[in-house]
Amino acid sequence: MKIDEIEQKIRREAAELVHDEPLSVLMLTEQVLDRRNFADMLSVTLACQLAGEIMDRSELEKMFDVLYLKYPELLLCAAKDLHATVLRDPACTSYLEPLLFFKGFQGLQAYRAAHALWLEGRTFPAKMLQSIISRKFGMDFHPAAKIGHGLLIDHATNIVIGETAVVGNNVSFLHGVTLGGTGNEVGDRHPKIGNGVMLGAHAQLLGNIHIGDGAKIGAGAVVVSDVPAHTTYAGVPAVQVGKPHDEMPSFNMQQDFTQDCK
């Protein structure tokens, strides 16, 4: 879905709510209806969420504005993430909700800004933003990690993504997932996640391992070795228990991995 199409949907949803729900007027007017475009909506929303004792709202809003103007691909990724959230999260009933309320979506977009700063060599403000994101949203993404588009970050609490992790496109994360090191490695030490992967709640993926496209990792699994594409892994330590029924298990979000058993 194109950015302007998402912006139009958000405006229509906000206009309807303002008409029907008086308590929504102030927030929706400030963060949506009075904003020029999707970039402006995103900037003010993230600034409102992250402002505090370290950076005030005006500083943050200006920072996001500059980054979105400089790197329009950040907005394209945000639009794809928003669309993915609406399609895959059964608790989501509109495009407006993730933008304003879902910390998984908001934290992911804030990470994208931190990553852009990191790539500019501005590592200190990137880590400062990472620290704020971690405290505000309970999710800790290192700004050096490389993360694709079209992600669903469901609930987001306690998700950790390490410095050298790589995440492909159209991946779905449940809460408590860790893409971490084993504790004794240096250099390239974090997992590499393919496209269309679904990572179940509290799955722990440790070390410089590769998770193939379309793989499915069961809730609570501890994965310490490579996972072939289009396979289902579960257990402690995780082993193959079957294969997903779909090429992209991240899309259908089927949590019962026993259905994949041989």
CA dist 59 and 65 (Å) reads: 10
pTM of the complete model beyond 0.85: yes
pLDDT in tens, 137-179: 999 999 999 999 999 999 999 999 999 999 999 999 999 999 9
262 residues of the chain, pLDDT tens digit each: 789 999 999 999 999 999 999 999 999 999 999 999 999 999 999 999 999 878 899 999 999 999 999 999 999 999 999 999 999 999 999 999 999 999 999 999 999 999 999 999 999 999 999 999 999 999 999 999 999 999 999 999 999 999 999 999 999 999 999 999 988 778 999 999 999 999 999 999 999 999 999 999 999 999 999 999 999 999 999 999 999 988 888 988 877 776 777 5
Whether 110 contacts 74, CB under 8 Å = no
SS3 content of the chain, % helix, strand, coil (to 5): 45, 15, 40
Distance between CA 56 and CA 141 in Å, rounded? 22
HEC string for 70-85: HCCHHHHHHHHHHHHH
**Mean pLDDT taken over the chain:** 95
pLDDT for position 186: 84
For residue 262, the model assigns a pLDDT of: 59
